[in-house]
Amino acid sequence: MKYGLMLAGMLCLSSLVYGQDYCKQIKKEVTDNNTSFSYETPFKEDSMPPVRAVRIYSTNPDAEFDNFTLIFTLPCEYAELLEKKDGAESEKEESGIVITFEDKSKITDETLAITHDKRGSGYAARSATLTIGTDNIKDLSTKKIAKVKLSTAEISISPAMSNAMLQYINCLKNVKKLQ
């Protein structure tokens, strides 16, 4: 019994010391001809996380591309997405993102389009896709995200999610180096 408890304690301590391997959690798909690669951070369709990372690229010389993005999803009530114009309700057109890091620095893009997703029984979500490139990769791969604001809606990112995203971004950054 004593040795069992010691072994359990050592295993627990080793997982704390060495941490999770976030790179192994990323879903990878490769085309049959090994020229297109798709990487996506883990999520469940029925409980979308507030932020996830996706990287899709091709090494085919005839169709070369590299799309590295963060997708932000903030749940809300569908009524929040509506506005009255001339006595009729219609969906708002929204734009703008502010990513606030733990050190209070920010990435801001007032022109980034926000889309809406209605899922029934009043639930909806605002979503935006931010391209990761040479202009923002340093901040996104070295700083933890504390808050995200899409248009007028803001959400705090939990420390666990913030740490996971930092790790995932670094994993995806290293899959294919950004020039």
Mean local confidence (pLDDT), 54-79: 93
- The single-letter DSSP state of residue 139 is H
What pLDDT band is residue 14 in, cutting at 50, 70 and 90? very low
Per-residue pLDDT tens over the stretch 107-123: 999 999 999 998 777 78
Q: Which residues, at least 6 apart from 110, have a Cβ–Cβ distance to it below 8 Å?
A: 95, 96
Q: How many CB atoms lie within 10 A of CB 177?
A: 6
Average pLDDT, integer, range 62-90: 91
Q: Is the pLDDT of residue 94 over 50?
A: yes
Contact predicate 67/172, CB 8 Å = no
> What is the C-alpha R_g of the chain?
20
CB atoms under 10 Å from CB of 39, counted, come to: 21
Other CB atoms within 10 A of residue 175 CB: 15
Burial degree of 126 (CB within 10 A; 0-12, 13-18, 19+): buried
Residue 163 has pLDDT above 90, yes or no: yes
Residue 132 corresponds to which tokens in the numbers above? Answer: 């990761």
* pTM: predicted TM-score of the whole model, two decimal places: 0.83
CA geometry: angle 136, 140, 143, nearest 5 deg:
130
